[in-house]
Structure 1
Amino acid sequence: MNRLLMLFYCMMSCLIPCLAQDKVSPSVLQQLLRKERPDTADLRMLFNTGNSYINRPGTERGDIDTASICAAKVLKSAVGIGNKVWEGQSYLLHSKILREQGDMKGKDDALKAEAIFKAQKQQELLADAYMELCDYYPPVDIETLNIKLKYYRDAAALYGESGSKLKQANALYRLGDYYSFLPDYKEAIKVLLQALVIFEQLHVKELQGIYNLLGAMYSQVGDSDNGLKYALLSLKTAQAVGDSTTQLCTIYNRLGMVYARVVDLPKAMQSYQKAQEIAFRLKDTPAMQILARNIGQIYQKTNKPGEALKILKQEERYYPPKSPENKILMWECMLNTYCLLGDFKSGAVYAQQLEDMRRAMHPDDAFLEFVYTALVNYYLGIHQYNTAHQYAQVMLAASSKNGNLSFRAKSCSFLYTADSALGNYQEALEHFRLYKLANDSLFNIAKMQKIGYLQVQFETEQKDQALILKQRNIELLTQEAQAARFTRNVIIGGAGMLIALLLLGYNRYQLKLQSNRQLKQQQDEINRKNQSLQELIAAQNKLLGEKEWLVKEIHHRVKNNLQIVMSLLNTQAAFLGDKDALNAIRESRYRMQAISLIHQKLYQSDNMALIDMRNYINELIVFLKDGFSDVNRIKFDLQIAPVKLDVAQSVPVGLILNEAITNAIKYAFTGNGTIIVSLQPADTGYLTLVIADNGKGFPEGEIPTQRGSMGMMLMHTLAEQLDGSLHIESRHGVAITISFKYQEKETFDEPVAIEENVTDYV
């Protein structure tokens, strides 16, 4: 489920307090400020006093002014006595003061402190500077997040080297929290466990924050066993130390998420409602928004979409989300609810809002998980299977990267549905297999976890019952007069209980036998269906193979028939003396060769639907060159994008190329020249074909019309067949431009002028 649920609400309250700071009375502070040349001890007291004022809750003007006076005094005195270390300390304190006021210029002071501590080789103080710098890099994008993570890593390492274990643990704790922003849950768990070991070595009591975060991280990687373990530890610790802050709300919320993951929906709802009570008491609007979404999801899973819509609408009305993250979570849940209700028209508004958010988000943003999940669910519902398939592929890639097993199972399920609807049955079966693997893994983890939890609960109840029995025995010892009667009653009761247990055991045995028989029948039925499915798939594959060979044979025979016609034309030409007739036969032969090449490409290629236009145009030009004796004086400049067209488009394109290039070779040049052939993507969904030469062009004002010649009429007709437009321009030669719709969806590479098997100038 979602991560970062109460993002940064309890960071400062979760963190274990660092080293105690010296405090001085106002009178002592006045004396320190009046000193002309304070010593090192005085500087330390001033620095700690300034820190204590700036670390107070809130941003009171008096606290900030007092801290600023202390920082200025430390800086002035340190410069006066030439103490670089205390000069760096004063810059660090001043950075905190400015940051507390929301002034990002404090970063410059933190950088000054960093430079001084590096030069003075003060490892612990340098780590303090790194921790301060971290607060100037909000995790708004991957670049700033990586900078923040680097500072935390360096700070933790320096604290370890300097022996500051408590500060090291706090740095590791915050590092683990921000690893979840990448998201890198496994690395987050690794770092958090390191921090936990140090906290336990130091006998720190308030560990509910790190337990809570560990539970959330384990749940994200599908380890619900450890997720529940640390979630319960977090709750137990919070209750033991009397924590009633927003952190307790977060603890109950994440505990509910773990219960939802192991399909214990009543306990999940109970935990969410406890968290909701705390959020209402603290008037925590973001928490109420998140909890409304989580409660809505429970209603969705219990087939109560109407209840889910009711609570979500109420939350949207009274507590509308403001941050992008909360908007995504609310819209995602609303869209899923409308999909369950089958009201796709109402859901379209939220789908469009999520689409707008998706386009503005970074590809590695963790919240894209919720955006894509809701959008794929919606597009499947409105039968836009291609879009759903595309988004589900993105989901699968993201789940492979972050190791989220639940997300992987969901994406495979979406791909199975989309592939089935699109007729991609082999891909559908593969994605169904991957879905079963991921889902079975999740089920096994959840089942083991739940059994472990029930076992712990059972053992606890047994211990409680043992204590009760012990108390009863003590009472019996004080009432010796009733011992005989009590013993008799116990024996009778025990016998009755034994009989009841025997009857119950026999009954359970019979139920288990019946259950096993039903399971065996179900397994046999599944095996029969699997066998039928395998036979169906084998028959389908056989039919597909036969169809493929038949189509190839058709293209082969069409190509052979065209070659026969061309041979007949060549034979006829040998008996003709009329120049016009010979030209007509030769032009007809070129046109047939253009079509023949297409059918040749189709039966020679594995893809019998599309023609690689780069290879086709190259071979067509080679053929046309062979048909003219003086063509070596003409250079061909090919600029062909890696485009594949179907037969319906490639035949008109080939005939247009044949007409335009043949005319250019015959009429454009009196000497040397160049013919440019370009096929490039233009606007979205369009291709532009250009055949241009630098020859003498048409006489001024005499550009031929559609009825000017058969070739010109043919090119206009073919352009209309492509549902495109044809434009002829005569300026420094002739340029024929055809723009037409591109039917195949494909991403274009950068335009290239050289193919491995085609020289720059053919």
Structure 2
Amino acid sequence: MKGFFILVLVLFQIQLVAQVISKNGKVNYSKVFVETDDFGADYLEIIEQSLPSVEETELRLQILWDLGYYSHTRNLRKSLILINQGLEEAQKAESKIWEGRMQVAQGAILLRMEKLDQAELVLTSALEKLPEPETWLLMTNLGYVHERRGDLGKAFEIASQTLQLGEKYGDTKVMAMAYSDISNLFWKQGKSVEGLEYGLKSLALFEKRGIKDLDFDFTLHVTGNNLVALGRYQEALPFFQRSTQIGKQYGFYNNLSDTYIALTDLYLAMEDFSNAETSGKEALKYAELLQNEFMVVRSLLSLGKVKKQQGFYQDAITYLHRSIQRATEDFGDRYFLSLIYRELAEAYEGAGEISNSYQAFKRYHELNQSVFNAEADQRIAHLQTEMGVAQKENTISLQEEALKRQNIIQVFTLLLTALMVFFLFFLYRIFSKKKKYSQLLEKQNQEKEFLLKEIHHRVKNNLETISSLLALQTAQIENEELQDIMIESQNRVQSMGMIHQNLYQGENLAAIEMKNYFINLGSYIIDSFDASSRISLDVRMDTLELDVDRAIPIGLIVNELITNSLKYAFPDNREGEITISLKEDQDHLYLKVTDDGKGISKNESVQGTGFGTQLVGLLTKQLDGKMTLSTQHGTEVYFEFKNRKAA
């Protein structure tokens, strides 16, 4: 029995941390609401506890995004802090795509904090950093910004664009989200028949996907709203009940507040004032926990409606004034603000305060007109037609019109066919001439390419001949200092020869791939000093192509620095490593050559002839660059060049 209890406890613990599993020092993570929804309301605490043990950048950013984004369902301020941390880490990692993803989450949070202008600015900035298939969440939140401002036409336009995006990439979640937003916008317009149609379409796709997430929960609520507006109260109730069940399972305070507001309207329609007031207070409780002023305003509006419908007009006026006070002058959603003033006008009227009622109704009318204006209606109707949701025109009149057009089309088709035949013949003649000309140009290009490769080959052979002559001369010199000078000269010639070898052997005759060049050059110099058994070379860079005018001076600089390291950094046959890196960033090149040798002490006199140092300085000036020397740990030489062809 005791063993069974332990087994149950272990199984419970495994389920509890299903999204974060640490095994053999490695953290495996299942993305919440993407790969799994098998967890409870404490999933955010579990993710947060696991974060300090995650070091791998990509995984850490994913966990930070999930933690920050889904925290907005409970605590907006904490959510913003987490996403700002994620944004800093993404920028530090120089990951544009993660920077964009963090900005989308940041925009979503700012939107819910009623900072609409900031949200729009952040979302617009993120657009250029994300690949098109990932822009759907950005577009969705951008649509919410316009919806909150009362520009339902623009919100509808963005929702239709999101739908096209989902259809283009076959993304079920994106299509479901777009249908959900369209359903909500139709409900706001008072077009609940169309709203219900799109809400049910959305739910079918969410059910097919099989993940109970924030958006599925919201769509249950939206579908219920449309049913309430159609007077189908008993049908609406199960949608709201399922929505609250999911909201409590995962701690979606924002959706819980929203759904309890909708339940208030449902119970009011059924004249169940007790449940209506209870639901309104639950909505306010979750809105206060979330610290979301938008939801607080709407919750107070719901309680005001309950009191007004009960005939407690002064209580209703109190709640509605509290709602307006919480909204402030900067409240972005003119639609809900207009509803508050409409309820306030009716409450004043019930209390016999006609003058106040008139002023409140006047304000309601102004706000309502700004949301439901002719231009917005026209835009929505046009988009509705494009998506195929407008009523079809009379079938018979369409057929008659089609017959008339058919006659015109037949005549037009004959004329067009004749023109096309003539045009195709004309194109064929042009194509034949261009093909011959292209073949001639291709032949000339091949000849020029062959000649250019031959030139580079001969230059490389000549440089090798010079290098061989220097080697023969070196063998006859007994003075070690002169031998070193000759070997260095031979290496300089060889470094230039390798450039020309890469040019005639590579596919690109105008540029050299530097990483492979550094590997070959470094290996050659280390071999020339007979040090390959004790000195290793590490080239830390991505593939990078440079033109000859920049490649040769940089090659000579690297040649001098490797030679200096081999001569002075590793005395008494010490083992060590030489590291080279070169990267390009917009209009600059950054070169770094380091060794882990003995370094250079402050009082140490200059060794050798100093020619190598002088040569490096001249080449740096030629490339319009600057050099920095560090001797804290071994020797590190850092160069910054302007990214343009040398003169």
TM-score, normalised by the number of residues in structure 2: 0.48
Q: Which has the higher contact order (CA 8 A, sep 6+)?
A: 2
Larger radius of gyration: 1
